[in-house]
Structure 1
Amino acid sequence: MDDIKKHDLTSSKDDKSSDQEKPVSYIKERVVTTIVLMLYMSASMPSVALFTQYIHSRYEDFYRNSTNSSSTSPGTHSPCLRNTSEEADELQVHIQQSTSYEVLKLSLSVQVPAIIVNIVVGSYSDHIGRKMLFILPLLGCICKYVGFMLVVKFHLHLNFIILGTLLDGFSGSASTFLLANMAYAADVTKTHATRTFAIVIADSSVAIAIALGQLMTGFLIEKLGYFCPSVINTSLILLATTIVIFGLTETVKKTEVKELSPVVHLKKVFGFYVSKRRDNKRSIFISCVIVFALLSIVNIGIKLVETLYQLGRPFCWDPEEIGYYGAYSTVFMTICSLVAIKLGSSCVRVEILAVTGMFLQMGSLILEGLASTDAMMYAVPVVGSISGVSVPVVRSVMSHMVDPQEQGAIFSSMATVETLSGAIGSATFTFLYSATVDTIRGMAFLVMAAVMFMAAVIKM
């Protein structure tokens, strides 16, 4: 941390000169980006649960030779029965395994292309502006939902969903959108403290938006089926796109991109970890990015496994209950994290709060892996309480160690690592869940807890 303070002193002149180029109304810009962020996240992120539940219902129809259309009446049969025969239990295992492999295909079709996009797009934005970073993933999300709606409406083969998700991946998807928001937050903040809080606010807005989206999506699936939520979410994305185009002020003064080669921008993005001119900070960069990668492996991997976990025995939750739990979990941990970073940062270093959050998340993952009742599941967010502090602190530390004109590059670096780690986490934990669903259903969560322990030890 001493290196960070030294960097603050040496770059104070650059900060003053860059402040003169920033927008006068910081509040207005933060409000607009918060609205756009919440619209995007409330519409985009629930797609994981939406797609998973739809695929799960399709495989139920397939294995049970049902003639009912899962696209119109998801409530006509229960996702599973709490007390079943051995034959029915074996059927549920097959349904869960088939669903997990299908969901994994969709996840990788988004994340693998996004890795390529995130490597260079953030660095380019330091020259051509931030708006592009917002608009690309918004358009990609629209393509994702259009593909899904066609499959639901016409009962097409599940592989057709992949076409839309591939387009979403080549737009950068959610990781590029978060990159845009973090870089934008860095553009309109000055000090380490305000930047940390701004990033926490952005992450909290994401959490609240996801909670609202999950609640709404779960309710709509239960009452109206899978098509209606897709239409509503697409409308929200279109509204966010309109606001970005006409209401968002560009924070970067556009300059000529002297070198268009992706190789040059690749060096800019990953030069923080290998450049000799950063010898005094390189170890901090490396340790931070390793911690960030481990956190991303867990946080992204859990999203795919958790919905499957709740659909199966012994919980047998329906879409509405999954939505309620997602909303409760997200809102509770968000509020706890906000209070912790606002009040706790005045007493202890934010890095200590981050490590504490990691250990608490480790405990919550162990509890979730061992859960056998609804009460144990609802206790998971209580144990995890301030775990949402960890990622924003790491983002803020890394952002504050670079110059204003390098914010796009550093956040592009983090977005690339996040996407790559997400692909690793998705593949690892989905395969692990599928392999252990008939023996130790919570094994994936226990392994996630071990990964989280590694992150906490490195951060210490």
Structure 2
Amino acid sequence: MAGLRFENLKTLIEIPTFCSVFGLFIQVSILTNFVIYRTCYVSLGYNQSECALLGTGSKDNYTEQLEKLVQPEANDISLYLQLPVGLLCALWALFVGSWSDKNGRKPVLVATMIAQALQYAMISVICMVPSVSPWFILITSVPLILTGGFAAMLTTFLCYLTDVTNEHNRGTRLGFFEVIFSAGTILGTFLSSYIYEAIGYVGIFLVATGLLLISLGYTIFVLEESMSEAQIQIYRQEQQVSSMEQLREMANSALRQRPHYERCLILLYILITSLFIFAYLADMTIIYLFLQLKFGWSLEKYNIFCSLRDTLTALGTFFGVYYLHRKLNVHESILIVMGLISCLNSSLVQGLASEDYHIYFAATLRFLAGIVNPMVRSLISKTAQPDEVGKIFSVAVMCQSVFQLIGSPVYTEIYNDSLSSWPSLYNFITAGVYFVSLISSIIIVFLLNKSNKITFKILEEDGRNDDVEVSPGSINDGDQEIIS
């Protein structure tokens, strides 16, 4: 039994996923707070003790005015921290799927984990020197630029999951992956402020470094390569092509003619997941500054809120994937519509909020937000050919990175311009993005329904040609699955 359990651990990609996501989110809000703090007293020259009050929940007039002066400069630093990483990681995401086809999934995972650990270690060194400008944090993005960062890591996680699953259990496994992802997000966000208060900025970035090293160790010593040597050799022989040819192949995988509206469906899947990530990450980037400015929230209160919100989202993901999808057989496309309605309502309530409890109500409305991505990924893996899934995932992650790249400066500019008059404005922009995604998902439901009718008609005609009467009782399990 122990041997069996160890065999299962060899393909359990969720363990390094959890450690990597935990390490990422344990420092996200702390890094934002650190940039604000350093910008305040190093870049702008304000009193260090007064700058230390930012993010503590202090609501006096002076602190509120100081926040309005510091936030635009801090936003610019955060923007420039994201832009080069987003641009180059978007390019990396194009090649990581096909490159890992030829060289295996583990080398990409190892490289990206080392880069992430190096970044956190470098930030901890900057934290040790009080007089260092926050602009030096930009240097820490170099390892991510060279390896593709979290975008490349996520693409490879998804390729690995596709390798070790089949069409019947892939949707459930992707849902479990999303729950593990959410668990890392929740724990990291919830514990970050407590760890920060206990060991400070330096300590928290060292903890993040340690988590990535644990993930790295598991990947190197326990996780097995999901692709056999024979598969790798076949891909190497098939893919002795230039980078431009690889780009053409990936574009062709997404754009080539397919029967039954499948090309249109794949493009809509990519659009929805890109817009969803665009809106989600934009909200994650701005919401702390928004809540700090409008409601006077401290970092600790914000992290507790995020933990509760993400816990609800994780429970909603489990409910949607396990109960609605697996037990009740609700189709992925319907679940995507439900998830996007959940997100749209949440953004509208958050934009109209005037009291703390409105923000918590908005978080409750996001209950089903977590089912969108795993259901989209499941549909991609079922629509595309097995040898195309990695390429299409790469295109999808690249598109997500590009949308994020566009969204970061747009949201930063919108928030900075409306900061004094209407800081809630960005929430309605987010609601508009979710609305476009919702319309796209409704089109998917329509096309899938029409495609299934065409498939049934073809099967019916084949049955007539073979002098076989097609009826519910005469269709075998495999055909029933195709039709449904």
Q: Taking structure 2 as the reference length, what is the TM-score of the superposition?
A: 0.83
In 2, Cα distance between equivalents of 1:46 and 1:434: 26
2:279 touches 2:433 (CA, 8 Å); kept in 1?
yes
Residues 1:307 and 2:320 aligned together: no
Decide whether the 8 Å contact of 2:39 with 2:74 is kept in 1.
yes
Match for residue 146 of structure 2?
170
Match of 1:386 in 2: 368
Contact 2:35 2:134 survives alignment (8 Å): yes
Q: Counterpart amino acid of 2:152? A: T
Please give the secondary structure, in 1, of the residue aligned with 2:98: helix
Normalising by structure 1, what TM-score?
0.88
Larger Rg: 2
- Contact 2:186 2:311 survives alignment (8 Å): yes
Instruction: Give the aligned partner of residue 183 of structure 1.
Output: 159
Q: Percent identity?
A: 19
User: How many positions carry a matched residue from both structures?
Assistant: 429
The equivalences for 1:129-144 within 5 A come to 129-144=104-119
CA shift at 1:77, angstroms?
6.0
Aligned residue identity for 1:157:
S
Counterparts in 2 of 1:83-98, with a 5 A limit?
83-84=60-61, 89-98=64-73
Equivalent residue of 1:313, what SS? helix
Measured at CA, do residues 412 and 347 of structure 1 come closer, stay the same or move farther in structure 2, by a change above 3 Å?
closer
For structure 1, the residue ranges without an aligned partner over 5 or more in a row are: 1-22
1:374 pairs with 2:363: no
Alpha-carbon distance, 1:59 to partner = 2.9
Q: Secondary structure at the match of 2:59?
A: coil
CA distance in 2, matches of 1:430, 1:78: 19
Matches within 5 A, 1:237-276: 237-253=212-228, 254-255=232-233, 256=236, 258-276=239-257
d(CA) in 1 for partners of 2:5 and 2:56? Answer: 54
> Could you list the runs of 4 or more consecutive aligned residues of structure 1 that deviate by over 6 angstroms after TM superposition?
23-26
User: Given residue 124 of structure 2, which amino acid in structure 1 is its aligned partner?
Assistant: M
Deviation of residue 177 (structure 1)? 1.4
- Give 1:283-432 correspondences, 5 Å limit: 283-314=264-295, 316-345=296-325, 346-432=328-414
Counterpart for residue 40 of structure 1: 20
2:91 partner letter: I
Check the 8 A contact 1:112/1:423 in 2, yes or no.
yes
Judging changes above 3 Å, is the alpha-carbon distance between structure 1 residues 125 and 383 closer, same or farther for their aligned structure 2 residues? same
Indicate how the Cα distance of structure 1 residues 79 and 435 shifts in structure 2: closer, same or farther if over 3 A, else same. farther
The answer as to whether partners of 2:268 and 2:440 remain within 8 angstroms in 1 is yes
Aligned-residue offset at 1:400: 1.7
Per-residue CA distance 1:207-228 (angstroms, 9 max, x = gap): 1101111122111223332111
User: Once the two structures are superposed, what CA deviation does each residue of 1:254-280 show, in whole Å capped at 9, x if it has no partner?
Assistant: 213542411122122221232246785
- Structure 1 residue 30: Cα displacement: 4.4
Q: Alignment partner for residue 177 of structure 2, among 195, 202, 205?
A: 202
**Could you tell me which amino acid in structure 1 is paired with residue 150 of structure 2?**
A
1:81 alignment partner in structure 2:
58
Q: Aligned equivalents of 2:426 and 2:85: distance in 1?
A: 22
**In 2: Cα distance, 1:124 partner to 1:24 partner:** 31
Match of 1:53 in 2: 33
Q: Could you tell me whether the CA contact under 8 Å between 1:124 and 1:408 is conserved in 2? A: no
TM superposition shift of 1:283: 1.1
